[in-house]
Amino acid sequence: MSTVFPQWEVFVRARRGLDHQHAGSVHAPDGETALRAARDLFTRRQEGVSLWVVPSTEIVASDPADVDALFGPAADKAYRFPTNYDLPPDVDHM
């Protein structure tokens, strides 16, 4: 009888001052063991100073089919970007 562990997503903070970033996944029976596995797998060469593990099934993701509806509209709102505003050269470093 083979035991199959649930999957956990691993996030690593490379150093203080930076966000945790997704690094990959591990399999483990519980969070504590997942942290140990993540430590062994992703931080053998000083790649991080902090780890998060999250059950993969707990990730709620946007649907790729909704990409236009969700992320498209920003493209026609050029006024949200600083480059949309032409200013005289004397103050253009603003």
Partner 1 sequence: MSQEHFDALIEADERIEPDDWMPDDYRNTLVRQIAQHAHSEIIGMQPEGEWITRAPSLRRKAILTAKVQDEAGHGLYLYGAAESLGTPRAELLDRLHAKTQKYSSIFNYPTPEWADVGAIGWLVDGAAIMNQVPLCRCSYGPYGRAMVRICKEESFHQRQGYQIMLSLSQGTPEQHAMAQRALDRWWWPSIMMFGPPDADSPNTGRSMAWGIKRFTNDELRQNFVDATVPQAELLGLTPPDDALVWNAERGHYDFGEPDWDEFARMVRGEGEIPDLRIGVRRAAHDDGDWVRAAAAAYADKQAARSAA
Contact positions vs partner 1 (CB under 8 A): 1-5, 7, 24-30, 33, 40-41, 44-45, 61, 63-65
Nearer to partner 1, 58 or 92 (CB): 58
Residues 81 and 58: their CA atoms lie apart, in Å, by 34
Place of tokens 């050269």: 89
Please tell me the total number of residues recorded for the chain in this structure.
94
**CA triplet 47, 49, 52: central angle to 5 degrees?**
95
- Shortest distance, position 55 Cβ to partner 1, whole Å: 12
C-beta closer to partner 1: residue 4 or 91: 4
Shortest spacing between CB 28 and partner 1, in angstroms: 8
